[in-house]
Structure 1
Amino acid sequence: MKATLIIVKYKPIFAIFGFLSMAIFRIPLFFNKNIQFYKLMGTGKNGTFDKVPDLSQWSILVTYNDEVTLEAQFGGFILKWFDLFCKKQTIYILQPIEGHGFWDQKKVFGELPPTTDYEGQIAVLTRATIRLNKLRYFWENVAPIASQMVTADGFITSYGVGEIPWVKQATFSIWESKAAMKKFAYRMPQHKAVIQKTRKQNWYSEDMFTRFIVKQKIEK
């Protein structure tokens, strides 16, 4: 199983086309036999969980089994749309290596071990569906911790993405090494405390954590 995440930034005068794409793109992606799973998502303003959406930036995640071209993954129509209306495109070709959890009740990246001996540069996708009665606790606790990520040792970049604002949230981040990522995730006392709260208080109705090797990064 492989995955591709594409992040696009629309030209200011074409920002409305970002909204339109979230509806229009569902049709070609639904009928695309080259992919197993797809998600159309908006993004937050500050590269992580954020109550304020970035209405000029949008993303698509797809998974697939065979070696297929970008055009086969997304379709020529979608890629041409981006070329016409977007001022920036960042594409990550990903190999999932570790993880657990579900997305829409599916193991979208296949059967993965919880950990491996890989220690190099790593990308991480964390996503959750937050229970409505836990939204206040999530935003009070998780958002302030997530904002500290950009200053962590070994941090490279991140994007806050989501299917439904405030409820279905995800962060995609890239780190210089697994050790750097783990230091932020598990050794920072505030972050560790919040992780424990999410489990004890059952904040999520569904969650998933997946790590990837970035096979290729393409920028346009």
Structure 2
Amino acid sequence: MSLLATFTAVRYTPRRAGWGALHMATQRPLLARTPGLRFARLMGSGAGIGFSAVPDPLLWTLFAVWEDEAHWESFRDGSAVMRQYAARGEERYTLRLRPLSAHGRWGGEAPFGEPSLKAAADEPVVVLTRASIRLSRAARFWSRVHPVDETLRGNADLLLTFGVGEVPWLRQATLSVWRSAEAMRAWAYRTPEHAEVVRRTRAEGWYSEELFTRFRLLGTEGTLHGADPLASLGTPDP
């Protein structure tokens, strides 16, 4: 079985912003009946570069894991969920992803199994970091977000990033696209602000659950703010 993950961002106009929230609240039963869909999360987004306490009411997202590409294509081309996005959303942008490695749980599940692959040295890597933040540690977590986000601004190796969440302030995730795995590691391990957050996360038990996953970028579909922000990368081999 060759699992495929997809991350779809739907942008709404200010006049239709309410449709995004309504879709998130009502699409779960539709997703539950979707053939070949192993795992799915509907999420809002934040206005920051990474984790964000300020919501963006115009951007809503769907992260999904499929048994194979054929099931994704069937969903993309014929599902009620995608018809709703097309009818009410201004734009739709999807990343197609192949899981390379995964550590942790999401809602008690391991949505990708236990993949053990490596990215090529010259290919981009997509990273999903997801955490359930303990209520008693939320203030400490959010006090450290801004300094870390500032280290990302202007980073030429960070090609695209989304801050998303299932529950505001408590169940948060980031999905980021890096020029290479080495570039991502250089930032993660050599940036003092981020290293300090990692240390305190472990020492103080900020999270009740977390998941860290790397993906190969298989391709993109659609536009975001009028263009494909990853168009210059082309489409790698699966």
TM-score by length of 1: 0.94
What is residue 5 of structure 1 aligned with on the other side? Answer: 7
Q: CA deviation at 1:177?
A: 0.7
Contact 2:126–2:217 under 8 Å retained in 1: yes
Q: Where in structure 2 are the equivalents of 1:45-84 lying within 5 Å?
A: 45-73=47-75, 75-84=78-87
Q: Which residue identity does 1:56 align to in structure 2?
A: L
Contact 1:35–1:73 under 8 Å retained in 2: no
Q: CA deviation at 1:71?
A: 4.9
Contact 1:125–1:170 under 8 Å retained in 2: yes
Contact 2:119–2:216 under 8 Å retained in 1: no
Whether 1:87 and 2:90 are equivalent positions in the alignment is yes
Give aligned pairs, total: 219
In 2 relative to 1, CA 117–80 (structure 1 residues): closer, same or farther, beyond 3 Å?
closer
Contact 1:100–1:112 under 8 Å retained in 2: no
Whether 1:111 and 2:114 are equivalent positions in the alignment is yes
What is residue 176 of structure 1 aligned with on the other side? Answer: 179
Uncovered stretches (5+) of structure 2, i.e. residues with no partner: 224-238
Q: CA deviation at 1:69?
A: 4.9
What is residue 96 of structure 1 aligned with on the other side? Answer: 99
Whether 1:158 and 2:155 are equivalent positions in the alignment is no
Q: Percent identity?
A: 35
SS at match of 1:148: helix
Uncovered stretches (5+) of structure 1, i.e. residues with no partner: none
Whether 1:195 and 2:210 are equivalent positions in the alignment is no
SS at match of 1:210: strand
SS at match of 2:108: coil
What is residue 32 of structure 1 aligned with on the other side? Answer: 34
Contact 1:124–1:211 under 8 Å retained in 2: yes
In 2 relative to 1, CA 47–142 (structure 1 residues): closer, same or farther, beyond 3 Å?
closer
